[in-house]
Structures are given as C-alpha cells and as structure tokens.
Amino acid sequence: QVLLVQSGAEVKKPGSSVKVSCKAPGDTFTSYAISWVRQTPGQRPEWMGKIIPILGKTDYAQKFQGRVTITADKSTRTAYIEVTSLTFDDTAVYFCARDRPAVAGHFDYWGQGTLVTVSA
C-alpha cells in the first residue's frame, strides 16, 4: 500500500492563495509522477497538473496555466500545489495521486484529500 498524506483543510479569502502539500514514500519520488486532481461537491474530478519530482518537470491543464504552480521538495519527499487569485469556484477537495511519469492519467494511489474553502 502506497500512502500519500496531505495537509489539512484550509479556509481562504477570495483573492488570496493556498498551498497544499502531499508527502509520499521514497520510491514514489524517484520512480513516479504526482498529479493533482480537484473535485467540487457533486462534480466530476478535474485534473490540474503533474510533476515528475526527480526531474522537476511539470505539466498543467490549460485552464490552470498561470494560476497554479506545482513543486516538489526531494529532501522531504513532499509535493505542493499552490493556487493563486482564489475565487469561490476554487472551493473543492484537492487530491494528490501517484501517476506514471511518461503520460499523465494513471492514478493508482491517492492522498486523502484536502478541503479548500474560499469564503468571504
């Protein structure tokens, strides 16, 4: 079992930023990618982007280009997603998931999810 552990729930004001973390086992960082997927209540999951930690290479969904940054700290085996200029529409559960390095889209292990609430 591969355990991805995410940071806790956040409440943010519109216009602010949020940074969510995802701690992964060592082999995930050296051999896999980590993708970020968010899900608003009652809606389908939405892929946001991914990082190959050993290379630092990132890919983003076009919708989030310029507003989302994914990073990875190899020393702590932790991946991060930062979302800026938050709006009410960014209220969602944010998941990290282990992914294949070559092609995004094989999410075989997931974090527990982090609820981000954007509220005035």
Between CA 57 and CA 26 the distance in angstroms is 18
Between CA 115 and CA 24 the distance in angstroms is 19
Is 53 near other proteins (CB under 8 A)?
no
Is 108 near other proteins (CB under 8 A)?
yes
Question: Which of 70, 111, 119, 120 contacts other proteins by CB under 8 A?
Answer: 111
Is 25 near other proteins (CB under 8 A)?
no
Cβ 97 to other proteins, closest distance in Å?
Answer: 8
Is 46 near other proteins (CB under 8 A)?
yes
Q: How many residues bind other proteins (CB under 8 A)?
A: 20
Is 45 near other proteins (CB under 8 A)?
yes
Q: Is 104 exposed, middle or buried (0-12, 13-18, 19+ CB in 10 A)?
A: middle
Residue 57 CB contacts under 8 Å (≥ 6 apart), including other chains: 51
Is residue 14 within 8 Å of residue 88, measured between CB atoms?
A: yes
Which residue number, 76 or 112, has a Cβ lying nearer to other proteins?
112
Cβ 9 to other proteins, closest distance in Å?
Answer: 13
